[in-house]
Amino acid sequence: MDIQVSPELSLNHLRALKVLGKGATGTVFLVHHLISDPSATSPFALKVVEKSPLLDSKIDTDRRARWELSLLHRLNNSPSPFLPSLLGSFETNDLIGWAIPYCPGGDLNVLRYNQSDHIFSPAVIRFYIGEIICALETLHALGIVYRDLKPENILIQQSGHLTLTDFDLSRTLIKSTRHLDVVYEPEPIKHKNSKKTKNARVAPVSRRKLSLTSNGERANSFVGTEEYISPEVVRGDGHEFAVDWWALGVLAFEMLYGTTPFRGKNKKDTFRRIVMMQPEFIGRQSTLTDLIGKLLEKEPTRRLGYRRGACEIKEHPFFHGLRWDLLTELSRPPFLPSKVLPGLKERKNVDIREYFEKLRMPPLSLDSPAREECLYNVSLTEF
């Protein structure tokens, strides 16, 4: 579906048909353009972020929104069939929003739960993991580490192919003269004087301080989703692109067995397992379990993909016979969404401004449980 949207959007020309999901930093609506598409035949997704109040510097949602928007602009210059294209954006005194294509197939987690045993076959895993590798390869070539790979951030396009979404935790890394060392590139964002469906299985955690050193040190910020966080992030050793290959191993394990490999009784137990335990494979070993084991190597310098990135992973025996250059042309996706867009059946004509006005409440105190996932820090000194 070819969607034509003006790069400069006006909120007055957009009508929301329904809320698709709400995340930590923004709300995603299914919308259509009242002028170019009055009958809503080609709706698109609109992510809208409410700017942080001036006194609430802890949340700083507008900074994160501007970062994600700038990254999407960069992706438009290096398009990939497995990454979203930016259709347009807008900004008001209170809101920042941007439009991307709508993915009617939902996310990979929902698709897995719709399978009879809540797992995928190795052939399906090969197809989807292959597309994710191509998406990460594009990001890494641009110097971008994704840092939030999980099923909820992998969407099914109308074509049945995958696309990654939610880039607010992604960062640009600058390689130093030494192979190991990278540092976060300071975000090209200056403040202005202004103010998904949440999944209970996992919750993002983030340390507040970013490592922005100038001597080639690896990044030390603590970000990601508990069950997908790599050992080097948990230990605070600094990290780079290999964290995405670790998360790919966790994802492949979950697709194969229906659960993540290091899930514990609580956060602390999960982090202990990530650092100390090896993944347990059930049944006959295969090229897939070998791939997962190599991606879940605790030491990042020995992890598959560390030396030569995606090229190294593509050469693994699990992918033998896969035509990487023809993934979108000849390969038939395992699942095709209905051509009838579900949002049009359930349209509620949500007023976006009114939606955020109703959400506005006095700022929560730092002790509020509602902020726990944003402020949570972990220490492994006793492990």
Q: What positions carry a catalytic annotation?
A: 148
Distance CA 363, CA 61 (A): 14
What tokens appear for 86 in the block?
A: 């930016």
Distance CA 149, CA 132 (A): 9
Q: Please count the other Cβ atoms lying within 10 Å of the Cβ belonging to residue 13.
A: 15
Tell me the torsion sign for CA atoms 254, 163, 111, 336.
Answer: negative
Q: Rounded to 5 degrees, what angle do the CA atoms 210, 214, 220 make?
A: 30
Enumerate the β-bridge partners of residue 175: 182
What tokens appear for 363 in the block?
A: 């700022």
Residue 219's SS3 state is strand
In the numeric block, the tokens 């497995």 are attached to 82
The string of DSSP codes covering 21-67 is EE-SS-EEEEEEETTT-TT-SS-EEEEEEEPPPTT-TTT-HHHHHHH
Half-sphere exposure of 360 (CA within 13 A, CB side): 14
In terms of C-beta density within 10 A (0-12 exposed, 13-18 middle, 19 or more buried), how is residue 216 classed?
middle
Amino acid symbol at 121 = S
